[in-house]
């Protein structure tokens, strides 16, 4: 399973109406970006969340959260939320809001030209 389509649907519902959000296939799953910055995504049945390095230690202590270790190297500022922690749209929305708060502080990335 590349990613859980039901989780992707919950993410879509959680970010619906948020201006400037785009969806993109990445990492064998789907990522959601704002201003060109990824803020949440799918990884199998888990939610990837970008909370930033400053908020990392606070959020990694939350239930179902762990350090993102996508490439074999821990990625400070990114968390993986276990499937049990993102079973409902409100749970996903709470994580998406944390991630959106972080990426709203980042500079907008220019869109890369299509090949």
Task: Report the alpha-carbon distance of residue 95 to residue 97 in Å, rounded.
Answer: 5
Output the pTM of the full model. 0.91
Q: How confident is the model at residue 1 (pLDDT cuts 50, 70, 90)?
A: low
What number is the average pLDDT over the span 87-101? 98
Q: How confident is the model at residue 112 (pLDDT cuts 50, 70, 90)?
A: confident
Look at residues 2, 17, 34, 3 and name the one whose alpha carbon lies nearest to residue 102: 34
Query: In the numeric block, which tokens belong to residue 111?
Result: 């869109």
Look at residues 115, 89, 84, 102 and name the one whose alpha carbon lies nearest to residue 37: 102
5-103: what fold? 3.90.1150
Find the range with the poorest average confidence among 6-10, 22-26, 47-51, 69-73.
69-73
Q: What is the pLDDT of residues 15-39, one digit of tens each?
A: 999 999 999 998 789 999 999 999 9
To the nearest whole number, what is the mean pLDDT of the chain?
93
């Amino acid at each position: 399973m590349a990613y859980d389509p039901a989780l992707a649907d919950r993410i879509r519902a959680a970010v619906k109406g948020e201006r400037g959000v785009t969806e993109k296939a990445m990492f064998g799953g789907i990522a959601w970006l704002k201003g060109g910055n990824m803020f949440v995504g799918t990884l199998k049945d888990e939610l990837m969340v970008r909370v930033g390095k400053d908020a990392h230690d606070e959020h990694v202590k939350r239930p179902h959260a762990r350090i993102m270790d996508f490439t074999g190297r821990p990625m400070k500022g990114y968390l993986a939320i276990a499937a049990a922690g993102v079973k409902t749209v409100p749970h996903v929305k709470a994580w998406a809001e944390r991630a959106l708060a972080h990426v709203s502080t980042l500079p907008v990335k220019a869109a890369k030209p299509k090949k």
